[in-house]
Structure 1
Amino acid sequence: MIPVAEARARILATFGPLPAETVALPDALGRVLAEPVVARLTQPPFDAAAMDGWAVRADDIARAQPGSPVALRRIGESAAGHAFAGTVGPGEAVRIFTGAPVPAGADAVVMQEDCEADDGHVRVGRAVAAGRFIRSAGFDFTARQELIPRGRRLTARDVALAAGANIPWLSVHRRPRVAVLATGDEIALPGEPLGPSQIVSTNALGLCALAVAEGAIALNLGIARDTAESLAALAAGAAGCDLLVTTGGAAAGDYDLVRDVLADKGVTLAVQSTAMRPGKALMFGRANGVPLLGLPGNPVSSGVTGLIFLRPILRVLQGLPPDEPGGPHHARLGAPLRANDRREDYLRATLSRTADGELVATPFPRQDSAITSLYARADCLVVRPPHAPPAEAGERVTIIPLSGGCLSV
């Protein structure tokens, strides 16, 4: 067995960002930029009103007070999309609305609440300084300004910003294509009749969902039976993919065939087992020229190893760092833990907060790798290093939050 950090390093060293492709802006949510977004225009392109009110010359109303208003002659109107074409001269004002261009000659906007108007005049009851309630041209951004850096996964806010910068197309990294293959005579698809010794397959669907949540395209190859012929035939469906993920069959039992049947002959496996719990039975190599990640068959082991190994692979393929920024994350233990053995533990836990807002991670009493209901309820994984001493409630521990993905707003 090799340490988790070493296994991750060996695996990730074989991957790099996928080539770029061009996508229409409406299809860019969740994609990772291969090139930065650079504004094609200045926003706003003109001095614009920040309030509904009156465009004036600040000097004309310098003495205005609520009880002693200054009367100005109204000469027109400026609305969004319909600018006033003239010039504001001494003693004049233009009715203006939020977002409308400030007319030439005016250097301030007075809120409509501070004014009274009739057909020919407006009485301004408050003085304002030059520039008040005006958003100057370029207030938001200017043409040729870099707005979003390469390597960022695009959120809904980013899409809106790119639209405002007049950009209809974006260069993004191609989405990884991931083939997922479950193995074993003992599993059946959800909804299928179950034999007397069978259980429902969950791993492939969970791993496909993880891949999609991380921005990949997932291809479920189905269930390979415990024969070399079935395994090889279904695995052939991974041709052209960027990664083949198998679940089950990666250990050393009589029916664990992934290593012997799929691994390319003459290619040394980079990883054959990992010192972690859950998830010892892990392998990484190549199958028919496609990178092969073999994960365990126990459902929680499959899910946890997917988080620790599959997720960072998918991030690297999309031009992202292996892990989310801002880590590592920490919390206080909500219950004591006994000493750990030589394997790195990933304990499923819930999260809560103390009265002062500090995070508390409480591991479930049962940590069996077949209890999928508790894994679904977990908020995080508590990471316990190999040979960690006993820990008391309240001690600080490292956690991996079970959240995130490509659809952040």
Structure 2
Amino acid sequence: MALLNVADALVKVLTTVNELGHEIINIHSASGRITSSNIISKITQPPFPASAMDGYAVRFKDIKNPLLVVGECQAGFSYSGNISEGEAVRIFTGAPLVNGADTVVIQENVTLTDGTITINFPVIKGSNIRALGSDFMNGELLVAKNTLLNARHIGLLAAGNVSEFKVYKKPRVAILSTGDELVEVGSKVGLNKIVNSNLPMFSALINENGGIPINFGNALDTPKSVINKIEQIKDVDIFVSFGGASVGDYDIIQDVMKTNGLKVHFWKVGMQPGKPLIYGKFNNIPYFGMPGNPSSAYVCFINFIIPAMYKMMGRRENGLKNGLAHLEHDLKKGGSRINYIRASIRENKFGKKFVNSSLIQSSANHKTLANSNCLIVRDIYASEAKLGDLVKIILIDTN
């Protein structure tokens, strides 16, 4: 029986997850959140005509003659009088334009002598003035729905006096590992045991992509231990388990969960690594049963779970950063599954990208994964690729 291909598997996932509800947050905690509605300005900016530079407010028709400086106006205050013929007012950046003035001459272009200025350079009427509402008007759209907020958006919203607004809730992602051999990081590693690296790694990956990881620890390879753990999993948006998804004598996660309500949508995908992936609904929660090997789980996570998280958060993209790069060595023909090869990409001084696959491709190898910044994607039965050929890549480190 042919394996489900990656594209069709992703469609099955995305058609069974929905956008989450929204919550109202304060602007100070908004970085990295996604807006769930349009955000409108509450004020006009600037709220008055203002000086764009330090200098002198003048009447343009007077600039050919010396002008008497009759006062000053600083930001946060206004000048009480009007400018009359032959007068100037010292003005600072951000200060309201003085009544009667129509031009600001920058201080570098004048000579000040005994309280009188002489303008030494050509001046354009209306120069160095920020017009009322030249940035935005009250009621104007500042940030559209489904925008991933960055520092620049937040500065704009603050300028519009918007302190609170609606964003999509962050997906709460339950993570559970399984395996008699696993011990918690930082504890003593006994005979025949290994450190549980998946929970810390995928907790970090969930955080990096805008989710909230909920760590349920490790279940032993017994039905009782697995049941004890999965009975605790409530009030989450995604449930991910690591290990026990294949066909070994101790790979029990699917059978135990099916007995306890799991409805499987698919099991096994035509990908390498990551073939044993399980997807379904557990108590109506999207469930991903991942392979236990870290590289296999990582490839599954970026191809399926991150896109599901992004859809829940209202993000338009699926999180996969695709590109092309030139091979620095030959690659053999592709096989019956799409292959994700851990690799490193570099860019020369002309902007041309080159990619070199790692020598060790074992799915249990941590160092290869950590030292890679991309995956080479080899389609099913892809032709042999030669040195210099363009190949598809997925960036996994955009720094």
TM norm. shorter chain > 0.5: yes
User: Are 2:12 and 1:17 equivalent residues in the alignment?
Assistant: no
Asked if 1 retains the 8 angstrom alpha-carbon contact of 2:176 and 2:199, the reply is yes
When structure 1 is superposed on structure 2, of 27-36 and 263-272 the one drifting more is 263-272
User: Are 2:122 and 1:127 equivalent residues in the alignment?
Assistant: yes
Q: Which residue pairs with 1:369 in the alignment? A: 363
What amino acid sits opposite 1:329 in the alignment? G
User: Are 2:111 and 1:116 equivalent residues in the alignment?
Assistant: yes
Q: Which residue pairs with 1:346 in the alignment? A: 340
Q: Which residue pairs with 1:139 in the alignment? A: 134
CA distance in 2, matches of 1:266, 1:212: 28
Asked if 2 retains the 8 angstrom alpha-carbon contact of 1:264 and 1:286, the reply is no
Deviation at 1:275, TM superposition (A): 0.8
Deviation by residue 1:175-234 (Cα, 9 ceiling, x = unmatched):
111110000101111122223211111112111111111111111100100001101111
2:284 counterpart (261, 268, 289): 289
Aligned residue for 1:154, secondary structure, equals coil
What amino acid sits opposite 1:124 in the alignment? I
CA distance in 2, matches of 1:397, 1:40: 49
CA distance in 1, matches of 2:213, 2:16: 20
Aligned residue for 1:323, secondary structure, equals coil
1:178 counterpart (173, 177, 185): 173
CA distance in 2, matches of 1:257, 1:370: 20
Q: Which residue pairs with 1:7 in the alignment? A: 9
Q: Which residue pairs with 1:392 in the alignment? A: 386
Q: CA RMSD in A?
A: 1.7
Deviation at 1:119, TM superposition (A): 5.1
User: Are 2:267 and 1:272 equivalent residues in the alignment?
Assistant: yes
Asked if 2 retains the 8 angstrom alpha-carbon contact of 1:72 and 1:92, the reply is yes
**Across the two proteins, how many residue pairs are aligned to each other?**
397
Asked if 2 retains the 8 angstrom alpha-carbon contact of 1:263 and 1:286, the reply is no
Asked if 1 retains the 8 angstrom alpha-carbon contact of 2:35 and 2:146, the reply is yes
Asked if 2 retains the 8 angstrom alpha-carbon contact of 1:276 and 1:345, the reply is yes
User: Are 2:145 and 1:150 equivalent residues in the alignment?
Assistant: yes
User: Are 2:51 and 1:49 equivalent residues in the alignment?
Assistant: yes
Deviation at 1:289, TM superposition (A): 3.2
Deviation at 1:328, TM superposition (A): 3.5
Asked if 1 retains the 8 angstrom alpha-carbon contact of 2:262 and 2:283, the reply is no
Deviation at 1:116, TM superposition (A): 2.1
Asked if 2 retains the 8 angstrom alpha-carbon contact of 1:264 and 1:289, the reply is no
Asked if 2 retains the 8 angstrom alpha-carbon contact of 1:182 and 1:247, the reply is yes
Q: Which residue pairs with 2:185 in the alignment? A: 190
Aligned residue for 2:363, secondary structure, equals coil
User: Are 2:55 and 1:37 equivalent residues in the alignment?
Assistant: no
What amino acid sits opposite 1:370 in the alignment? A
Aligned residue for 1:304, secondary structure, equals helix
Pick closer, same or farther for the CA change 1:28–1:397 going to 2, 3 Å: same
Q: Which residue pairs with 1:102 in the alignment? A: 97
CA distance in 2, matches of 1:116, 1:232: 84
CA distance in 1, matches of 2:350, 2:259: 55
Asked if 1 retains the 8 angstrom alpha-carbon contact of 2:311 and 2:318, the reply is no
What amino acid sits opposite 2:171 in the alignment? P
CA distance in 1, matches of 2:184, 2:12: 33
In structure 1, the gaps of 5 or more residues are: 64-69
CA distance in 1, matches of 2:130, 2:328: 51
Deviation at 1:120, TM superposition (A): 3.2
Q: Which residue pairs with 2:228 in the alignment? A: 233
User: Are 2:395 and 1:401 equivalent residues in the alignment?
Assistant: yes
User: Are 2:254 and 1:259 equivalent residues in the alignment?
Assistant: yes
CA distance in 1, matches of 2:232, 2:220: 15
